[in-house]
Amino acid sequence: MFGGEPLRASVTGSRLRRRAFESARWTRSIRWRGAAPCRASAVAFAIVAAGAECRALCPEVSLNSSLPVYQSGSTAGAPNNFAGTSCTDGYGGIGDDGGTAPERTFAFVAPFTGSYIIDTIGSAFDTVLYVRDGSCGGSQLACSDDIDPANLQSRVTVDLTAGQTIIIFVDGYMGASGTFNLNIALIPPNDNCFTPEAITSTPFTQTLDTANATVSEDDPIQSCSSHSDQVGTNSVWYSFTAPADGIVNVDTAGSTYDTVLTANTGECGLSTEVVYGCNDDASASDATSAISFAAVAGTTYTMEVTEYGDYGEGGILYFALDFLPAATPTPTATPIAPTATRTPTATASITSTPSRTPTQTPTLTHPPTQTQTPTPTPSPLPTSTPTVAASQAPTATWTATATASVTDTPSPTPTPSPTTTPRPCVGDCNADQRVLPGEVLRCVAIALGDDLLATCSACDANADGRVLPGEVLTAVDNALNGCR
C-alpha cells in the first residue's frame, strides 16, 4: 500500500526489479515531487513501480564562481525531467526545447555584475541550453538550440548581478545525448558600442581576451573588410576625444587572431567611418591591423576591433593608441646684417668772451684861467681849484669754455643663427621611428592633393611645402626597410 492505494498488480517482478535498480543507481540524485530524495528502499521501489513521479536532484552540481568556468561531463543515462521554452534555432526561429533528451543541471553564482556568455562549444552532440533564475523551477532567462546554422552547439547571454544564482541546464536536441563542455565567462565590458573603453591619456595599451565578445545588430560596416557582409565578429570598442588637432595612430600588433580595425565618428548605429580609418591587414604577411588618421580637436572617435569572418572565436587582443599633436610651423629665421652706426666725432666747442675794452681814463681838464679885471675892489678874487675824480678802470673778464660732447655707440648685437631641427624619418608621421602602411598611404594622399601636408609633415623630405613621387618612394622604402 502507498498513499492508501494498492500497487497495481500488473507490475511484473522483472519490471519492478529493473525500476528498483534504476532507483538505486540514482539514489543520491532523485527527488520525488521536490521532497526528500528517493531512497533505494522498498518504499522507493514501490513508488517507481507504481509510476509515481520522481525528479532528479536539481541542481546536481554547484559550479565554482571563479571565471572562466569550464565543466565537462555526459548526459548519457541522465534523467529527462526538464525542457526549455522558445529556444532559438540559429535561423532566427524556434528550435527544439530538449524535452525528449536527458539533461544535466548546474548552479552558478555570479561573482560580478555584468553580461555573461554561457555555451556548450566543444560538445560531442547537438545540444540545447537553457538558464533559469534562482532555482530549477524559476523563470527562464534564455534558451538556445543552435548558435547558428553551421554550429549545432548552444550559446546564451544573460545579464546578472553580483551574487545572483542561476540554474543551467545542458540538454539535447530530439533525444540526443553524449559528452559535453559547459563554458561560462564574463563578456568584456567594452563589448558594445554604447559602453566603449574610454581612453583619457596617451599612449594607451590594453591586453584583452575577446573569446567571449559578441556582435550587435547595429555594429557598423567595415569598408576595408573583404568579407561578404563587411561585418566581423567578437567586436570590442574604444573611444578617444582628441585634445588638439593631430594624428591618431592605432594598431593591434601582436594579437593572436585576424583583426579588422575601424575608426568612426557619430552616434552608435549612425556612425560615419573616418577617412583612412579602416584596415584589415597591416601587411601581406600580418593579419593584425593598423590605422593612422587626422583628428580634429574636441572630436570623439570610436574604434571598433572585430575578428574577420562569420564565425570567429576571438583570442588575445593587443590594442594600442597614440596621439601626435599637429606640429606648429616654425618660421625660418632670415639672417640680417647688422647696420653700422656712425660714431659722431667729438667737437670742442669754445665760447669766445669779448676782448677787454679798456676804459678810457678821463683827462684832467683845466678850466680857463680867469683874467683879473680891475675893479673898484682893490682885492683880487680867489681862484677856484676844481676837484678831479678818477674813475676806476673796470676789470677785464676772460671766459673760455671748451665743451666736448662725445656719444658712446653700443656695439651691434649679433643676430643668433637659426637652429636647424633634424627632420624625422620620411613618412614617419608619428615620429616613432617606423613607417606604417597607413602613413605611406597618407603621403600618397598628400602628393595627390587629397590631404593636407599638416597631417603628416614627415612626408615632405626637403621641407618645400609639397610631396613629390620621390618622397613617397622614400617613405615606402622606410616602411619596408626601416628608418635610417
418 vs 310: CA distance, rounded Å: 58
| Cell 509515481 sits on residue | 52
Query: What integer pLDDT is reported at residue 197 of this predicted model?
Result: 96
CB of 320 closer than 8 Å to CB of 203: yes
Note whether 232 and 220 are within 8 A (CB).
no
**Higher model confidence: residue 379 or residue 322?**
322
- Structure confidence at residue 148 (pLDDT): 85
Q: Length of the chain in residues, anyone?
A: 484
For the four alpha carbons of 442, 448, 454 and 457, in that order, the dihedral sign comes to positive
Residue of 88 and 392 predicted with greater confidence: 88
Average pLDDT, the chain: 77
CB atoms within 10 A of CB 106: 22
- pLDDT, tens digit (0-9, with 9 covering 90-100), for 427-461: 888 888 888 888 888 898 888 888 888 888 889 98
Highest-pLDDT range among 212-221, 266-275, 290-299, 376-385: 290-299
Average pLDDT over residues 369-383: 48
Q: What is the pTM of this model?
A: 0.50
345 vs 242, higher pLDDT: 242
Question: Using an 8 Å Cβ cutoff, are 31 and 55 in contact?
Answer: yes
Write out pLDDT tens, residues 103-119: 999 999 999 998 899 99
**Which tens digits make up the pLDDT trace of 134-148?**
999 999 999 999 988
Answer whether residue 362 shows pLDDT above 60: no
Is the pLDDT assigned to residue 412 strictly greater than 60? no
What pLDDT is recorded for position 377? 46
pLDDT at 305 (0 to 100) = 95
- Which cell numbers hold the place of 66? 571563479
For the chain, domains (ranges, CATH) are 13-56 (no CATH), 61-186 (2.60.120.380), 197-325 (2.60.120.380), 437-481 (no CATH)
Find the range with the poorest average confidence among 73-87, 259-273, 288-302, 372-386: 372-386
Nine cell digits for residue 402:
671748451
- How many other C-beta atoms can be found within 10 angstroms of the C-beta atom of residue 466? 13
Answer yes or no: is pLDDT of 13 > 50.
Answer: no
pLDDT for 122-131, tens place per residue?
999 999 999 9
N- to C-terminal Cα distance for the chain? Answer: 97
Distance CA 388, CA 432 (A): 116
Could you check whether the bond before residue 203 is cis, i.e. omega within 30 degrees of 0? yes
